[in-house]
Structure 1
Amino acid sequence: MIEWDVRKYPVDESIRVVFKYHQAGTGATELQMVENFAKTKQKGNCEFCITGESYNVNGRVLDWRVEVHAGANLLAAEQSYLWE
């Protein structure tokens, strides 16, 4: 579960939460999942799951990074210690 709170930033555009990751079977290929929220939703949570065929074919997640954007502006980010 990913929780975010960007109320301390001026937000004039919709919120976009981006989950970037690498899986064991994808090598250096960076994959990503995106959730979009209205600009009025400046605090919330979402969940990204790697399951089914994606997990069976490509394996476990090796590293990850989560970014919260408002339009083109990066508001917040967090990542695993293996992320490069």
Structure 2
Amino acid sequence: MKLWKPLAVALPALVLMSCGTPQVLEVRPLHIREIGATDEGDDPMIRGEYQRRMHGAIGVQEQGERLGQYYTVLWNDDSTTGAGQIVFEYQQGISGSRVKKMVSSIEAGKTSGKADFAIIGKEYRVEGHPARVLAWRCKLIRDGREVASRQSYLWQ
């Protein structure tokens, strides 16, 4: 009977602690290094993502063109509804300190969405060798100002 008082105090505190702010920008990387690299011991989510990226590639050459690094960017911004863009910048080991950039536009009125960026094909394989992405940064820009950004550990 005496447990209800501590429980009545602790329960609202736990509820308030679990209410964190949602992330405005989330980046999910995936690196596909080999054709048929998934086996029965892999995580089902990774295996499903591999199959989704390889879907429609019939021959070994087509599958080889899809090897590389994929970045799925999820964004959720309720602060404004103006037009904007997701800017993905990256550096590859083979290109030194040169920063390459990809941009995905956001229509006015959208408050959430998904953008996919892929470094595959000739961009990924330079002279027959993989040109891995070493560092990356992703920015959400709305109405000309940076709303949020995420970056890899090695980005400077």
**Same fold (TM > 0.5):** yes
Partner Cα separation in structure 2 for residue 69 and residue 54 of structure 1: 25
1:30 pairs with 2:99: yes
| The structure with more radius of gyration | 2
In the alignment, what sits opposite 2:80? 10
The runs of at least 4 consecutive aligned structure 1 residues that moved more than 3 Å come to none
The 8 Å contact of residues 139 and 148 in structure 2, kept in 1 or not, is answered as yes
Flag the structure with higher strand content: 1
How much has 1:15 moved relative to structure 2?
A: 1.7
Relative to its length, the structure with more helix (as a share) is 2
Q: How many residues align?
A: 82
C-alpha root-mean-square deviation of aligned residues, in Å? 1.2
* SS of equivalent to 1:82: coil
Q: Which has the higher contact order (CA 8 A, sep 6+)?
A: 1
Could you tell me which of 108, 117, 133 is aligned with 1:61? Answer: 133
Note the residue ranges of structure 1 that are not aligned, 5 or more in a row.
none
Percentage of matched positions with identical amino acids: 32
Q: Calculate the TM-score normalised by the size of structure 2.
A: 0.50
Identify the residue that residue 51 of structure 1 maps to in structure 2: 120
Structure 2: unaligned runs, 5 residues or longer: 1-71
Equivalent residue, structure 2, for 1:82:
154
